[in-house]
Amino acid sequence: MRSGPRFATRMMLIQSMVVGIGALALIVTAWIVAPILFHQHLNHLGVVSEVVQEHAEEAFAFAFVISVVVATAVSVAAAGAVSWLLVRRVSRPIEELARAAESVAAGNFDVFVPHAGFSSELEQLSGSFTLMATQLGDSEAARSRLLADLAHELRTPLATLEAYIDGLEDEVVVRDVEAWATMRHQVYRLKRLAGDLRETAAADEHALGLELTPMDMCATCEAAVAAATPRYQMMGVALTLKQPDMALPVNGDELRLQQVLANLLENALWHTPRGGTVSVIASRLEANVRIEVIDDGAGIPQAEIGKIFDRFHRVDPARVSTGIGGSGLGLTIARAIVNDHGGSLEASSEGPGLGATFTMFLPLHRRAR
């Protein structure tokens, strides 16, 4: 709702005032100064006759008034036309921005503000507003998708817990170790989901609180492989580590990078059958440290590779219902951590059944370069 005159009206009033004041100042100044100068010029020419001076000054006054009136009218008309065009050029993009802002406030983020060609500042403002509306729309879509995915993720463990509690109350489920272990596992899934959601939110805001120090990625890989080995042995999957004799120094947060490797190794374990192999290969490539986690498991369809790092995305949705796998946020968090280190994390696969490779690049420490 508008209150008060429009911007264009105010601008025209202000321009009219400026033009009017300028015209009035011109007339008054010329009316005071011109006759005095004309009289001095007559005296300088030696015109001493009062009758001649009177007629000459009357003729000058008449011509002066006519000239000033015509010149003022033309100037005011020209200034008014230019002011109207100027106000129109300036007010139109501002009005479009105001309408777009009202649309965004109403929840419609699909707005486009035409670029204003009047000035670079207005053009930059229009482009920035369009970009802001697009980012707000993306954030709102991501929030809605996150809530929907979260509701879906919560449904399975909650339904399992509800079924077991009802079964225990009705004495349909036996109160044995297996029943308590199943319920405890579902509680663990909920706790892990809550923790991963907190990590994801911090990653989205670049608020992971990284403590970067010089470190050796060879030692980090060794620690991650050593921590994962018992679980791999239990699942019947071979885990190997290959790295150079030299150090691979980076400037990073050791705990966070171990978390990345743990997520990658756990993801590889979920998708590798018993008897399979997962390899961790560390190497130096130009000004980067390259860490590859390669498995010979289920592989990734080509259409899924671009989505593999999305929240709650799983190549095999059936794993959710069976309770196999994590929260669906591990790879999302891993990529965010690597990105905050100035590196990159990518996935590749030849297709289903042909295994997958996750490649992490981290910049070498500057002294090593």
Residue appearing with tokens 């150090």 = 247
Query: Residue 80 — very low, low, confident or very high, per pLDDT cuts 50/70/90?
Result: confident
Residue 119 has pLDDT above 70, yes or no: no
pLDDT of residue 153: 67
Query: Would residue 350 count as lying in a domain?
Result: yes
pLDDT of residue 367: 63
More confident of the two residues 99 and 236: 236
Query: Would residue 265 count as lying in a domain?
Result: yes
pLDDT of residue 115: 66
Query: Would residue 82 count as lying in a domain?
Result: yes
pLDDT of residue 8: 65
Domain boundary among 77, 108, 139: 108
The gap from C-alpha 313 to its chain's centroid, in whole angstroms, comes to 21
Residues 343 and 288 sit within 8 Å (Cβ to Cβ)? yes
Query: Would residue 138 count as lying in a domain?
Result: no
Residue 4 has pLDDT above 60, yes or no: no
Most confident of 161-165, 317-321, 328-332: 161-165
Per-residue pLDDT averaged across 33-46, rounded? Answer: 74
The gap from C-alpha 289 to its chain's centroid, in whole angstroms, comes to 28
Domain membership of residue 98 as a residue range:
7-108
Query: Would residue 255 count as lying in a domain?
Result: yes
pLDDT of residue 315: 56
Domain boundary among 58, 75, 108: 108
Q: What are the tens digits of pLDDT across the range 132-174?
A: 888 888 777 767 776 776 776 677 778 888 888 888 888 888 8
pLDDT of residue 327: 57
pLDDT of residue 344: 93
Mean pLDDT of the chain: 80
Coil/strand/helix, residue 270: helix
Q: What are the tens digits of pLDDT across the range 265-288?
A: 998 998 899 999 999 999 998 889
Query: Would residue 141 count as lying in a domain?
Result: no
Query: Would residue 115 count as lying in a domain?
Result: no
Residue 131 per-residue DSSP state: H
Kind of pairing between the strands at 277-285 and 344-348: unpaired
**Whether 229 and 193 share a structural domain:** no
pLDDT of residue 26: 74
pLDDT of residue 212: 87
pLDDT of residue 319: 44
Query: Residue 5 — very low, low, confident or very high, per pLDDT cuts 50/70/90?
Result: low
- Which residues is 284 bridged to in the sheet? 289
Per-residue pLDDT averaged across 220-245, rounded? Answer: 92
Rg (C-alpha) for the chain, rounded Å, is 39
pLDDT of residue 321: 40
Helices 120-169 + 177-204 axis angle, to 10: 170
Among candidates 232, 203, 227, which has minimal Cα distance to 309? 203
State which amino acid sits at residue 13: L
Spatial neighbors of 83 by CB under 8 A, at least 6 apart, are 11, 12, 15, 16, 19
pLDDT of residue 6: 64
Query: Would residue 121 count as lying in a domain?
Result: no
State which amino acid sits at residue 312: F
**Whether 257 and 299 share a structural domain:** yes
Query: Residue 95 — very low, low, confident or very high, per pLDDT cuts 50/70/90?
Result: confident
**Whether 199 and 217 share a structural domain:** no
**Whether 188 and 230 share a structural domain:** no
pLDDT of residue 290: 95
pLDDT of residue 318: 46
**Whether 30 and 167 share a structural domain:** no
More confident of the two residues 315 and 51: 51
Give the predicted TM-score (pTM) of the model: 0.56
Residue appearing with tokens 């498991």 = 297
Residue 73: count of CB within 10 angstroms of its CB: 11
Q: How far apart are alpha carbons 6 and 221 in whole angstroms?
A: 66
Residue 323 has pLDDT above 50, yes or no: no
Per-residue pLDDT averaged across 173-199, rounded? Answer: 80
**Whether 357 and 228 share a structural domain:** yes
Choose the weakest-confidence range: 146-150, 241-245, 261-265, 333-337.
146-150
Query: What's the structural domain count of the chain?
Result: 3
**Whether 33 and 157 share a structural domain:** no
**What is the token pair recorded at 56?**
């000459």
For the domain that residue 267 is a member of, what is the CATH number?
Answer: 3.30.565.10
Q: How far apart are alpha carbons 366 and 214 in whole angstroms?
A: 10
Most confident of 23-37, 102-116, 294-308: 294-308
Domain boundary among 160, 178, 204: 204
More confident of the two residues 309 and 297: 297
**Whether 199 and 266 share a structural domain:** no
